Structure 1
Amino acid sequence: MKNRIAILIEEKYGDMRSSEKQAADYVLAHMDKVRELSLEKLAANSGVSQPTIVRMTKALGFKGYKEFRYAVVEQLAGSRKEDGRANPMYGYNLSRKDRLEDIPGKVAVTSQMMMEETLKNLSSEVFKKVIGALKNARIIDIYSVENSNAVASDLLTKLLYLGLSCRHFDDYYHQKISAGNLTSQDVAVGISYSGYSRDTVEVMKEAKKSGAVTIVITNFRDSLITKYADLVICTSQQQLFYGDAIFSRTAQMMIVDMIYMGLIVSDYDRFCTVLDKSSRGVRDKAYSSL
């Protein structure tokens, strides 16, 4: 399990400058060494300047490097007391030698890794803009194909429960027509793990041409679909398994939940009222507990 310092770095990572990210990457990879390094030595080892190290620590909420270093020492000492064992399974390598009983654990570990990487790549500023755009949109169109349709359906359901006007079409022609009729008051959300799904890229291109705010959820920051995005939410950026489908939903579903919760918090009274009304509207479709 990640320690508190590592999680804090991953939470703030998306808003850091490139040089600060370089320092943060070194800290994540060499946490044990950091507790013994002076400011000068850490800067040299990270390949950045001393002021960059100080800016990184302040971005994490510390007053300076000294306080940050003490926190690392304290965290490492506590972690060793709690559990000195290391998890032997990182990544996901499947072979004919794997035992069936090991698969659940390996999948769980890989899913956890992807979610941590997603948090690390998420910019809080971008997230705020996404919430603002969705909350104020006249119409929200969601575009996806194949495996991403499951994520799109989940997003559609959650947005509908909050009373937002949104649509999701499986048919490419319907997607293209709807994208072409969007306006600057509307939002288009494209979901594509690879960022190269032709249909999704093409309709996002059409939506941007129409003047809509375009939001993309993808795994690779430099993929083709991001060319047509005003706002990009990038997940782990790692390619873990042939076909890309097995773990793509894990991080994307987490993003959907983040958006859902973010919308509720952004206007709590409004959305809780609508959510309660929506829930009551379908309550008769569930069996009462015995």
Structure 2
Amino acid sequence: MREDSCILRIKKQYFELRPSEVKVADFVLRNIRETSKISIGRLSQITGVSQPSIVRFVKAIGYTSYREFKDDIIENIASNQAESNISLLQELNLKEKDKIEDVPRKTIKTTIKILEETLTSIDTKDFEKAITMIVNARKINIYGVENSVGVISDLTNKLLYLGLDVRRFEDTYMQNLSANNMREEDLAIAISYSGTSKDTVDILKKAKGTGAKTLVITNFEESIISNYADVVLHSSNSKGHIYGNAIFSRTSQIVIVDMIYRGIILSDYDKFSHILDRNGEISSYKSY
């Protein structure tokens, strides 16, 4: 990680800190990623420093709150992940000497690798929690931008077929408006491959601020958007972008959507199979 923001602030103020604050500083400098995931209470237990002293520490290095301090760490981690990416052509496993006839084989090979990694990355307990959240939600709003839009459309259609109250918004103004009007019994689902798309992160943060439950589908376990999620379904254990996100991001996202669809049906097979049969009759009239 480059020396910027949080780490640089600590080093600049290090010799001005109180002894208790130095303990916190030492831990953070050695365990920056772990710090991004833990609460102030947990940090207090680990370092043996009181929570008020931790608050004094973050203010001493220039933050207004522990929340702002953690957000800056998460943003720095995400920024450094992006900087460490290998080139897109390398990610796509393409070379100038490759033949067009090799494209199908290479594409399928990469897709299989992504799907295998997704299978090993999905936490079954988190998956079960996600299904419960969706089934029990009064209203579901789904958010995302750019390459995630097609996946969002697919998830919306599937949930509608299952009789759930779901909607999606592509206009940023309507996204903000819908998120602002959510309630505690509602669910916001955000889909972001990188987990760093500013519009999607900000919308989920707004939805969580209303008390609504939040679910994130993303590729990387350590991402900014995960900070505002009650449950995260991530498709990779890696710390950085392994594949060309513009091309292959849909692969892992679509398969997670299909998992969710099947999981909902199995959560109450009689109920949802009946709904599917009833709604299937509507679409049958549109076929020759």
TM-score over 0.5 for the pair: yes
In structure 2, the residue matched to 1:226 is 226
In structure 1, the residue matched to 2:108 is 108
Distance across 1 between alignment mates of 2:194 and 2:229: 15
Distance across 1 between alignment mates of 2:277 and 2:230: 32
In structure 2, the residue matched to 1:145 is 145
Distance across 1 between alignment mates of 2:192 and 2:287: 33
Correspondence 1:260 to 2:261:
yes
Task: Render the CA deviation track for 1:92-113: whole Å, top value 9, x for unaligned.
Answer: 4211111111111111011111
Correspondence 1:239 to 2:241:
yes
- The aligned amino acid for 2:275 is V
Distance across 2 between alignment mates of 1:105 and 1:281: 39
Distance across 2 between alignment mates of 1:117 and 1:131: 21
In structure 1, the residue matched to 2:251 is 250
* SS across alignment from 1:183: coil
In structure 2, the residue matched to 1:270 is 271
> Pairwise mapping of residues 1-290 of structure 1 onto structure 2 (< 5 A)?
92-236=92-236, 237=238, 239-242=241-244, 244-287=245-288
Distance across 1 between alignment mates of 2:279 and 2:200: 30
Task: Report if the CA contact (8 A) 1:183-1:210 is conserved.
Answer: yes
Distance across 2 between alignment mates of 1:93 and 1:250: 16
- The aligned amino acid for 2:278 is K
Distance across 1 between alignment mates of 2:110 and 2:206: 35
In structure 1, the residue matched to 2:81 is none
Q: How many residues align?
A: 197
The list of structure 1 runs, each at least 4 consecutive aligned residues, that deviate by more than 6 angstroms after superposition, is none
Q: What is the CA RMSD across the aligned residues, in angstroms?
A: 1.4
Sequence identity percentage: 50
* SS across alignment from 2:220: coil
Task: Report if the CA contact (8 A) 1:148-1:192 is conserved.
Answer: yes
In structure 1, the residue matched to 2:27 is none
* SS across alignment from 2:247: coil
Distance across 1 between alignment mates of 2:176 and 2:182: 10
Distance across 1 between alignment mates of 2:284 and 2:241: 41
- TM-score, normalised on structure 1? 0.66
* SS across alignment from 1:216: strand
How far apart are residue 181 of structure 1 and its match?
0.8
* SS across alignment from 2:233: strand
In structure 1, the residue matched to 2:21 is none
Unmatched tracts of structure 2, length 5 or more: 1-90
Task: Report if the CA contact (8 A) 1:179-1:207 is conserved.
Answer: yes
How far apart are residue 281 of structure 1 and its match?
1.2
Distance across 2 between alignment mates of 1:239 and 1:112: 17
How far apart are residue 124 of structure 1 and its match?
0.6
Distance across 1 between alignment mates of 2:187 and 2:258: 18
Task: Render the CA deviation track for 1:118-174: whole Å, top value 9, x for unaligned.
Answer: 111111100000000000100000001011000000000000000000000001111
Unmatched tracts of structure 1, length 5 or more: 1-90
Task: Report if the CA contact (8 A) 1:187-1:212 is conserved.
Answer: yes
Task: Render the CA deviation track for 1:212-245: whole Å, top value 9, x for unaligned.
Answer: 1100001111111111001000012462344x11
In structure 2, the residue matched to 1:67 is none
Task: Report if the CA contact (8 A) 1:92-1:240 is conserved.
Answer: no
Distance across 1 between alignment mates of 2:242 and 2:103: 15
Distance across 1 between alignment mates of 2:188 and 2:228: 10
Distance across 2 between alignment mates of 1:235 and 1:97: 31
Task: Render the CA deviation track for 1:183-210: whole Å, top value 9, x for unaligned.
Answer: 1101100000011111100000001101
